[in-house]
Amino acid sequence: MGLRLKFNLVLIVVFLAGIAAAGAVSRSLLLDNAREEVIRDARLMMEAAVSVRTYTVEQIRPHLIKQLDEVFLPQTVPAFAATEAVAHLRKKYKEYSYKEATLNPTNPRNRTADWEADLVNQFRQSPDVKEIVNERQSSTGRSLFIAHPIQISNPACLQCHSTPSAAPPTMIKLYGEANGFGWKHNEVVGAQVVSVPMDVPLRNANRAFTTFMASLAAVFAVVFVVLNVMLSWLIVRPIRRMSEDADRISTGDFGVPEFKEKGKDEMSVLGSSFNRMRRSLEKAMQMIGDQ
């Protein structure tokens, strides 16, 4: 096995180990960054929904509350307002979703799906948990969701959700008496759930990873060629010539030219030593021939 082959085998092994380590680290970082980007988007969407709820309670509902005796306006309900606001956003971003998933809702569209009911039960069983972040496979692809508990902390909410007799007749006329009652103060009745698609950030992360690995491979290819040229020019060729000259000298042919001794690198030192050995051998052979 030649020196060049040994060198290249070692170089390839080192490269493969390095690219594997760099690939694992870079892919992990890119995926983590993609997930953090999705979480930021989900939290921004959640805060937007909360802002709509707050705006409705503080600036819309007080002006319309007196009309409840004549007609029930769903627009005065914070959950309805937030859901409708996000519904307008979804006309452009269909993969995004917001839902005030409730176990026993007044409005049937807010009824929990099975996986949403599991979230609500988690909040009920663990009162200290205020946020759940996880991923799931939806009909539109892989998505990340953030869930916050919906807790009846304001006793005023019980006016519409304690018993049908206490609720505004106009609300009963609109939604009926079957759903949305029996809620209790400080009870977790549902969860605000924001879902954000992960496909685009993951595709961007995979594209960045592919570009990085391709660039790394290209750099290695260039380095591999340059190192082989340098190895051939600075080491292999001088050693091959030295080997050929040593073979000729061993047969008594001292007509080969000496190596240049310029420079202070290892090959120059080796060439200088070879020249001294050659001269010594040539003198020794002459002394033997003179006797």
Amino acid 263: pLDDT: 62
Lowest-confidence region among 139-148, 212-221, 223-232, 243-252: 243-252
Which residue has better confidence, 163 or 67?
Answer: 163
Statement: residue 265 has pLDDT above 70: no
Tell me: the pLDDT tens digits for 41-90?
999 999 999 999 889 888 888 877 777 778 888 888 888 899 999 888 88
Mean pLDDT of the chain: 84
Tell me: the pLDDT tens digits for 228-254?
888 777 777 777 777 767 777 666 666
Amino acid 191: pLDDT: 94
**Minimal CA–CA distance to 263: which of 275, 254, 271?**
271
**Minimal CA–CA distance to 221: which of 9, 26, 12?**
12
Confidence label for 272 from pLDDT (cuts 50, 70 and 90): confident
Amino acid 170: pLDDT: 84
Amino acid 230: pLDDT: 82
What global pTM score does this model have? 0.71
Read off the pLDDT of each residue in 171-177 and give the average, rounded to a whole number.
Answer: 85
Which residue has better confidence, 237 or 30?
Answer: 30
Q: What domains are there in the chain, each with its CATH number?
A: 49-198 (3.30.450)
- 154-184 burial: b if 16+ Cβ within 10 Å, else e: eeebbebbbebeebeeebbeebeeebbbebe
| Cβ neighbours, 10 Å, residue 204 | 14
Amino acid 30: pLDDT: 92
- For the beta sheet containing 141-151, the strands, ordered from the edge strand earlier in sequence to the opposite edge, are 97-102, 188-197, 141-151, 132-138
Amino acid 179: pLDDT: 86
Return the percentage of the chain with pLDDT > 70, whole number.
86
